[in-house]
Amino acid sequence: MSFYNLDYEEKRFIQLAKKNTRSYYEHHDQIPSSPGQVELAKELAKEMEELGLDAYYNEKTAFAIGKLSANTAEKVTPIGFFAHVDTADFNAVNIKPQIHENYDGQKIILDEKDNIVLDPTEFPDLLNLRGQTLITSDGHTLLGVDDKAGITGALAMLKYLTEHPEIEHGDVFVAFGPDEEIGCGGQYFDPADFPNVEFAYTLDNGRPGDFEYDTFNASEVTIHIRGTVVHPGEAYGLMVNATTLMNDFLSNLPQDQVPEKSRNHDGYFLVLHAQSNVDHADISMIIRDFDQSEYNRKEQFIRDLVKKMNKKYGNRFTVNIREQYENIYNYIKDKPYIVNLALDAYRKSGLKPNVQSFRGGTDGNFISPKGIPTPNLFNGGGNYHGRYEYVTVEQIDKLAEVLTNIVTEHLRQTRTGRNEKPLEKYW
């Protein structure tokens, strides 16, 4: 049994998936980074307006904004939802969604000639989707589940509420934004577009039931090393090889605090890029940690290591550490209602909540410091960002149900009392 309308959700998702809205980091100084995002955002603004919302496209931020006005006399704070229009760094030209009705749990040949196969022995989560309508790409592009499924779920929720005016609710805001995949979109968001919104949720990656309000603290580190070039035949006591210094620095990094040895609530150092010659060397790194004190210690470790190298080699290292985003938990921990409301809506929708840490960042990392605490729900599907992406219509439908239940539960708890049960650490 569907909550809303599976035919609508299937057709709308496929329409969205076919649109090339890939974002490009090399154009991150543009807002947005690709023209397809503008086209889709304006289309979504028009669609929300046709549904009866107050809607518009913000030219400065590239967000499509919609407001579904309250239909209750009850004084209830506005809430919001975010989904992003861009897709990840993978081929998004000529996307051809493939529909597999009543999926039987067997492998799916996406392209026989090129032997591209979606196989549940490799991706066992597929076995949980038997009997559902599975949507994939043809194996040569991504599908765009991230975040076209989130957009579809939000639209289905808005459509349901506008078609059922007997369902009371407060003001509901929706924003469809750009360039989440390159870490820029949330930075552009103008909170003036969400006036008086108390809190919001992103509809990003995750299976139905997943919920994240704990993300990384994140920093970008760049290190420059200055060498001294002398002809090797006359180098004794004079040459300082920047490559040698770089290797010494890298060898002093914690070898067990790297992504390939980290999981759950572990943080890490990651060397993204290192290049050198005798004259100079440059290192690009990132630091990630959930725990604020551990994150601070990691940043300090790098500063101390640079001081150690400068003492050893004579002030040849310079370092710049730029904080990229902050853990959403810092803005959620003292506001348990935001979490409890979502979990209550999950249970009302028949979902068993799966609270976990999000080993990455979302738009919520940038929106939360703007005064709108924004944890992450889910958008369904799996194998995001590549040729093996998939989603089911039923998962999108479940998202629409959860969003509707959040809206109605927020009004109910405003009347009867909020669930302010203190948060418990789950890690």
Residues annotated as catalytic are 86, 180
State the amino acid at position 367 in one-letter form.
I
DSSP β-ladder status, 134-136 and 98-100: antiparallel
Task: Give the C-alpha distances (Å, rounded to integers) separating 25 from 30, 31, 63, 179, 222.
Answer: 10, 11, 18, 9, 18
Question: In the numeric block, which tokens belong to residue 360?
Answer: 């990455």
**Unique residue bearing structure tokens 């196969």:** 117
- Element at 138 (helix H, strand E): none
Rounded to 10°, the helix 6-17/393-416 angle is 110
Separation CA 51–CA 189 (nearest Å): 23
Looking up tokens 């003001």 gives 171
Sole residue written with tokens 């809430």: 79
User: What CA–CA distance (Å, rounded) separates 136 from 118?
Assistant: 9
Residue with tokens 């985003």: 325
Write the CA distances from 130 to 105, 123, 325, 426, integer angstroms. Answer: 5, 13, 39, 30
Cα-flanking dihedrals φ and ψ of residue 347, to 5°? -65, -40
Contacts 24+ apart (CB under 8 A), 110-118: 110/136, 110/137, 110/138, 110/139, 110/387, 111/138, 111/139, 111/140, 114/139, 114/140, 116/140, 116/387, 118/388, 118/390
Return all residues near 64 (Cβ < 8 A) that are at least 6 apart: 41, 42, 44, 45, 48, 55, 56, 57, 58, 85, 175, 176, 177
As beta bridge partners, residue 320 has: 222
| Residue 265 to residue 263: CA distance in whole angstroms | 6
Hey, what are 343's tokens? Answer: 């979990």
Pair of tokens at residue 88: 């990840």
What is the H or E stretch that residue 141 is in?
A: none
Token pair of 51, please? 């549904």
Closest CA to 158 of 41, 75, 78, 69: 69
